[in-house]
């Protein structure tokens, strides 16, 4: 079966879309209904497990805690089986919490219903909303393609040097744009190389694998790079631990860069070193100025490009100097979006381009974590953790669970499910040593073509095989937890 061309993937946002685009997964109402029913039955039955029912009867776990456990199991099951879209599961979480844990239906006095809906006003949601709009402005001004093409003029014509240049561009762009948007742009730049290369060429395969890894690992570096990072920062803030933009880069930057270097070392040995063809490419067409990147069809430095460059650099600068001026990153990004709107760079169409499904998924995750805490379920879980386990063991165990889970469900869903459990297992004073590694490895998912949107987009070019991802995925499953926890152990 012919795979769809990468041009069809410009709106990639979720694993479910990636699956459908590769024609591996199509919506089957019967199969979806079976998954739904099984997840509901499982979620209902776990409330009658001896450990849960005995805890409820003894007063160690409230009725709200039992309901929250059912909601947690149901959400994890739906996210894992993808019976419904991830954002729909997130909406379901909030709906069930309103129904069973809040004052909305009179079933509980534990939680004011307005507090559940207040997650929509969370600084985390606004931070990513603004980040998505800045990324959209970045694309509309053509700055992404300009950057990629500028790098190509310096790299030379060899496949290896071009891969290094594009990989670095991808890595940096994905720190501030979604990895999906980043890889979509870069794949468009790579398209002429794919056409020029012989079929099943090792260098081209290595290039695509390297770009997919760079897009995923680059998002690890900043708070706005990928949703799990922001979820972790928000969860730590609720526990009284504050991490600013620059501090996160110091925490996540070194392990991210080391994992990128280790991944590329494997790619070099597996692909480029074995390729005897030593490909070179014609860059003439690729490096020509594009009218799409300038105003009114004229080449040069357009007013739109000027505003985007100034505002984006100012935003990043303020993010990185938060310790000096103490302005919250969410306020900074809000001001940036305001300026981009006032200058006409962003318009109504830009607002429609925001991936609302991602924001809904994040809001559902925040509501899930809050519910686990408020219902007393987190405290109950903490009593079940053996007291003789070392913090090192817990850190590595949660990191391994996170990296495996993120290979089979979206990394945001994995972080939503795992991070609240971490806080129930460790003391606040030790939480950084467990939360941070578990968060970082969520960006190490690479085992399957559908593990991340960048994998899916690169796979959809028709060049890569399943085995290309499986091998590098196994490397990251092993190295991700070790590198992430080792670094956190060193700095904390």
Answer yes or no: is pLDDT of 157 > 80: no
Nearest to 415 by CA among 473, 368, 355: 368
Predicted confidence (pLDDT) per residue in 327-347, tens digit: 888 888 899 999 999 988 888
Q: Is residue 429 part of a domain?
A: no
Residue numbers of the domain that contains 288? 124-352
Q: Is residue 161 part of a domain?
A: yes
Predicted confidence (pLDDT) per residue in 382-410, tens digit: 677 676 778 888 999 999 989 988 887 77
CA atoms within 13 A on the CB side of 327: 16
Q: Is residue 489 part of a domain?
A: no
Provide the pLDDT confidence category of residue 144 given band limits of 50, 70 and 90: low
User: What mean pLDDT is predicted for residues 457-471?
Assistant: 85
Answer yes or no: is pLDDT of 478 > 90: yes
Range of lowest pLDDT (171-175, 301-305, 454-458): 301-305
| CA-angle at 320, arms to 316 and 324, nearest 5° | 130
Burial class of residue 397 (count of CB atoms within 10 Å of its CB; 0-12, 13-18, 19+): middle
Q: Is 412 helix (H, G, I), strand (E, B) or coil?
A: helix
Model pTM score? 0.74
Nearest to 489 by CA among 424, 394, 402: 394
Residue percentage of the chain with pLDDT more than 90? 26
> Higher confidence at residue 280 or residue 215?
215
Any bridge partners for residue 111, and if so which?
A: 102
Answer yes or no: is pLDDT of 180 > 60: yes
Provide the pLDDT confidence category of residue 3 given band limits of 50, 70 and 90: very low
Residue pair 417/90 in contact by the 8 Å Cβ criterion: no
Answer yes or no: is pLDDT of 2 > 70: no
Q: Is residue 99 part of a domain?
A: no
Residue pair 271/205 in contact by the 8 Å Cβ criterion: yes
User: What mean pLDDT is predicted for residues 293-307?
Assistant: 61
What's the full length of the chain, in residues? 492
Provide the pLDDT confidence category of residue 488 given band limits of 50, 70 and 90: very high
> Higher confidence at residue 255 or residue 75?
255
Compute the mean pLDDT over every residue in the chain, rounded to the nearest whole number. Answer: 82
Answer yes or no: is pLDDT of 152 > 90: no
Residue pair 218/172 in contact by the 8 Å Cβ criterion: yes
> Higher confidence at residue 80 or residue 242?
242
Any bridge partners for residue 102, and if so which?
A: 111
Output the pLDDT for position 483. 96
Q: Is residue 118 part of a domain?
A: no
Residue pair 337/130 in contact by the 8 Å Cβ criterion: yes
Residue pair 476/444 in contact by the 8 Å Cβ criterion: yes
Output the pLDDT for position 214. 96
> Higher confidence at residue 238 or residue 323?
238
Q: Is residue 203 part of a domain?
A: yes
Q: Is residue 338 part of a domain?
A: yes
Provide the token pair at 97: 């919490």
Q: Is residue 358 part of a domain?
A: no
Q: Which residues contact 310 (CB under 8 A, 6 or more apart)?
A: none
Q: How many domains are there within the chain?
A: 1
Burial class of residue 39 (count of CB atoms within 10 Å of its CB; 0-12, 13-18, 19+): buried
Output the pLDDT for position 124. 76
> Higher confidence at residue 290 or residue 358?
358
Output the pLDDT for position 486. 95
Residue pair 134/353 in contact by the 8 Å Cβ criterion: no
H-assigned helices in 84-218: 86-100, 113-117, 123-140, 143-155, 159-173, 179-196, 202-218
Range of lowest pLDDT (150-154, 383-387, 421-425, 465-469): 383-387
Distances (CA, A) of 279 to 156, 204, 249: 12, 9, 36
Distances (CA, A) of 98 to 41, 88, 103: 21, 15, 7
């Amino acid at each position: 079966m012919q795979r769809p061309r990468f041009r069809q993937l410009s709106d990639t946002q979720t694993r479910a879309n990636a699956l459908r685009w590769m024609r591996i997964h199509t919506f089957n109402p019967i199969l979806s209904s079976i998954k739904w029913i099984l997840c509901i039955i499982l979620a209902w039955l776990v409330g009658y497990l001896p450990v849960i029912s005995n805890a409820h009867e003894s007063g160690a776990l409230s009725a709200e805690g039992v309901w929250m456990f059912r909601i947690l199991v149901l959400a994890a099951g739906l996210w894992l089986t993808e019976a419904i879209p991830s954002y729909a599961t997130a909406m379901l979480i909030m709906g069930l919490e309103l129904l069973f844990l809040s004052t909305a239906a009179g079933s509980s006095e534990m939680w004011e219903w307005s507090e559940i809906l207040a997650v929509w006003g969370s600084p985390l949601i606004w931070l990513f909303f603004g980040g998505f709009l800045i990324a959209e402005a970045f694309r509309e001004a053509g700055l992404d393609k300009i950057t990629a093409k500028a790098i190509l003029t310096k790299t030379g014509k060899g496949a290896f040097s071009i891969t290094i240049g594009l990989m670095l561009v991808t890595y940096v762009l994905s720190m501030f744009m979604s990895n999906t948007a980043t890889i979509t742009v870069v794949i468009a730049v790579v398209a002429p190389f794919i056409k020029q290369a012989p079929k099943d060429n090792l260098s081209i395969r290595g290039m695509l694998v390297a770009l997919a890894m760079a897009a995923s690992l680059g998002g690890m570096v900043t708070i706005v790079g990928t949703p799990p990072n922001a979820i972790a920062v928000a969860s730590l803030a609720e526990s009284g631990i504050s991490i600013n933009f620059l501090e996160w880069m110091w925490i996540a930057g070194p392990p991210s860069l080391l994992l990128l270097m280790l991944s590329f070392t494997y790619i070099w040995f597996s692909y480029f070193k074995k390729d005897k063809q030593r490909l070179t490419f014609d860059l003439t067409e690729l490096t020509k100025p594009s009218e799409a990147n300038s105003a009114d069809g004229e080449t040069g430095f357009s007013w739109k490009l000027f505003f985007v460059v100034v505002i984006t650099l100012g935003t990043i600068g303020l993010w990185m100097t938060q310790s000096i001026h103490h302005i919250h990153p969410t306020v900074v990004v809000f001001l940036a979006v305001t300026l981009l709107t006032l200058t006409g760079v962003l318009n109504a169409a830009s607002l429609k381009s925001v991936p609302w499904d991602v924001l809904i998924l994040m809001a559902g995750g925040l509501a899930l974590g809050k519910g686990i805490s408020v219902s007393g379920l987190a405290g109950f879980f903490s009593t079940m953790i053996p007291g003789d386990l070392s913090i090192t063991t817990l850190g590595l165990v949660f990191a391994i669970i996170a990296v495996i889970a993120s290979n089979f469900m979206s990394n945001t869903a994995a972080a939503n499910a795992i991070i609240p459990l971490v806080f129930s297992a460790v003391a606040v004073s030790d939480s950084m040593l467990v939360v941070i590694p578990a968060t970082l490895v969520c960006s190490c998912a690479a085992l399957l073509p559908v593990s991340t949107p960048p994998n899916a987009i690169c796979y959809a070019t028709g060049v890569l095989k399943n085995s290309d991802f499986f091998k590098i995925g196994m490397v990251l499953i092993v190295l991700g937890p070790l590198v992430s926890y080792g670094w956190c152990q060193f700095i904390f």
